[in-house]
């Protein structure tokens, strides 16, 4: 589904990603962990198409197409979804109107007619139920005055509505209390299928107790320095990141 090869990226001339290789297949959940400043969120931003990031080398294929060649909206329409670390508040745009517009823009891209009002509302209701999302939030302005937890839940609810092939969750667990974490994780688990895939970016192992990954990768200094299964996450939790940094330092040639 997603094939990242030797990806290099920079912000304002500073190299942030320094050769990422990652292959994600349908049905898989990949966790990306790493210390602060290692490039985790940058990877999410580059994949979603944030303008500030300049790709300096490498390639990313998504379902056989060149992802880097697409605008952010086309990436989304092709089935890529970014759950934001900080979902944006947009006063004056109602949640429901926003979702309807998004659904219909994606449908138009695939040559489908706009969804009928009734069908849309039915879908909305069933997903609300599935995701345990408070219906009262639907008519409010997008994320305006939402608590941190409500914003993250809204993002996951949007994911349920848009049914992406690949969801990238950028530190979705940050700022969540344990109850919100449980609800958000349960939502993600309900959406997991053999046809879609998830990249879960997180700082802590805690989230991975709820959303069990197939693979765990450690990002450090713009590169994936270690990959393994879910046990790797436990090891990191126990030992921290310092032992990895030591290992890497030993491996790196003396300058």
Q: Which residues bind another protein (CB under 8 A)?
A: 48-51, 71-73, 75-77, 81-82, 84, 87-88, 90-93, 98, 101-102, 105-106, 109, 141, 158, 162
Report the b/e string of 128-143 with b at 16+ CB within 10 A: beebebeeebbebbbb
Which two structure tokens, joined as six digits, stand for 10?
């920079």
At its nearest, how many Å lie between another protein and the CB of residue 229? 30
In terms of DSSP bridges, do strands 80-83 and 29-33 run parallel, antiparallel, or are they unpaired? unpaired
Our CB check for another protein shows the closer of 79 and 213 to be 79
At its nearest, how many Å lie between another protein and the CB of residue 209? 28
Our CB check for another protein shows the closer of 13 and 92 to be 92
At its nearest, how many Å lie between another protein and the CB of residue 156? 13
At its nearest, how many Å lie between another protein and the CB of residue 101? 6
Please name the residues in contact with 151: beta carbons below 8 A apart, sequence gap of 6 or more. 86, 87, 89, 143
Our CB check for another protein shows the closer of 52 and 135 to be 52
Our CB check for another protein shows the closer of 23 and 147 to be 147
- Angle between helix axes 242-251 and 230-239 (nearest 10 degrees) is 100
Our CB check for another protein shows the closer of 72 and 228 to be 72
At its nearest, how many Å lie between another protein and the CB of residue 165? 13
Our CB check for another protein shows the closer of 120 and 210 to be 120
Q: Are 58 and 19 in contact (CB under 8 A)?
A: yes
Q: How far apart are CA 200 and CA 103, in angstroms?
A: 24
What does R_g of the chain's alpha carbons equal in angstroms?
A: 19
Geometric angle at alpha carbon 135, from 130 and 141, rounded to 5°: 125
Spatial strand order of the sheet with 215-220 comes to: 80-83, 166-170, 197-201, 29-33, 215-220, 223-228
Our CB check for another protein shows the closer of 108 and 121 to be 108
At its nearest, how many Å lie between another protein and the CB of residue 11? 14
Helix (H, G, I), strand (E, B) or coil at 192: coil
At its nearest, how many Å lie between another protein and the CB of residue 166? 13
Q: How far apart are CA 18 and CA 222, in angstroms?
A: 5
């Amino acid at each position: 589904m997603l094939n990242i090869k030797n990806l290099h990226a920079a912000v304002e001339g500073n190299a942030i990603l320094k050769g990422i290789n990652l292959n994600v297949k349908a049905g898989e959940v990949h966790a990306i962990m790493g210390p602060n400043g290692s490039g985790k969120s940058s990877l999410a931003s580059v994949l979603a198409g944030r303008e500030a990031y300049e790709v300096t080398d490498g390639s990313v294929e998504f379902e056989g197409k060149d992802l880097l060649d697409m605008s952010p909206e086309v990436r989304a329409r092709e089935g890529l979804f970014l759950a934001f670390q900080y979902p944006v508040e947009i006063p004056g745009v109602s949640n429901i109107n926003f979702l309807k517009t998004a659904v219909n823009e994606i449908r138009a891209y695939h040559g489908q007619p706009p969804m009928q009002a009734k069908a849309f509302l039915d879908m909305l209701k069933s997903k609300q139920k599935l995701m345990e999302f408070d219906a009262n939030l639907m008519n409010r302005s997008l994320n305006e005055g939402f608590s941190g937890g409500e914003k993250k839940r809204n993002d996951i609810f949007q994911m349920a509505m848009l049914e992406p092939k690949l969801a990238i969750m950028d530190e979705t667990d940050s700022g969540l209390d344990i109850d919100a974490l449980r609800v958000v994780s349960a939502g993600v688990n309900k959406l997991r299928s053999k046809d879609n895939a998830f990249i879960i970016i997180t700082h802590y192992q805690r989230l991975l107790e709820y959303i069990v990954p197939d693979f765990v990768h450690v990002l450090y200094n713009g590169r994936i320095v270690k990959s393994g299964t879910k046990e790797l996450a436990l090891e990191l939790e126990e030992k921290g990141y310092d032992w990895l940094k030591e290992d890497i330092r030993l491996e790196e040639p003396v300058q």
